[in-house]
Amino acid sequence: MNKTAVIILSDPKSGSEESLGRVFNALVTAYDAKQRGHDITVLFQGTGTRWSGLITSPDHPVNGLYEAVKDKIAGVSSGCADVFGARETARDHGFKLISECAVPGTSGLPSIVRLLADGYNVVTF
């Protein structure tokens, strides 16, 4: 079975269409994998943690895709959410804060190494 981890790094604060295009294509990838019955997981990391307060809004352009794959979203990086000011927003919108990789000076991050060890192909947007 194909196993894919989609990591969203794009920054919605950049104000560019590229950032929206990247989150859109990340969620399309997750949707496609889900429809094909593949093992798929989605993580928001870096400035991508800021999407948690936007895509949950019904009037956001990618909300439909978000709703279609939200059961495949593992969560947001705890440490990144701290650094980029998204912790409260992520938590308030129901996103899990992932802290499995204990990095000194942070509240923890997702482990990309674990995903690779578990046989996931990692795709970043």
Counting the structural domains of the chain, the total is 1
Q: CA 101 → CA 20, 73, 77, 84, distances in Å?
A: 28, 18, 10, 18
pLDDT at 123 over 90: yes
For residue 85, pLDDT over 90 is answered with: yes
- Label residue 121 by pLDDT band (50, 70, 90): very high
pLDDT at 1: 72
CATH number, position 23: 3.40.1260.10
Look at residue 15 and tell me whether its pLDDT is greater than 90. no
Q: pLDDT value at position 58?
A: 97
Q: Encode pLDDT of 107-118 as tens digits.
A: 999 999 999 999
pTM metric for this prediction: 0.95
Output the six-digit token pair for 44: 């928001």
The pLDDT assigned to 9 comes to 98
Domain span at residue 68 reads 3-124
Spatial separation of the C-alpha atoms in residues 42 and 121, rounded to whole Å: 12
Q: What is the pLDDT of residues 18-40, one digit of tens each?
A: 999 999 999 999 999 999 999 99
Q: Which of 5, 72, 25, 15 is nearest to 47 (CA)?
A: 15
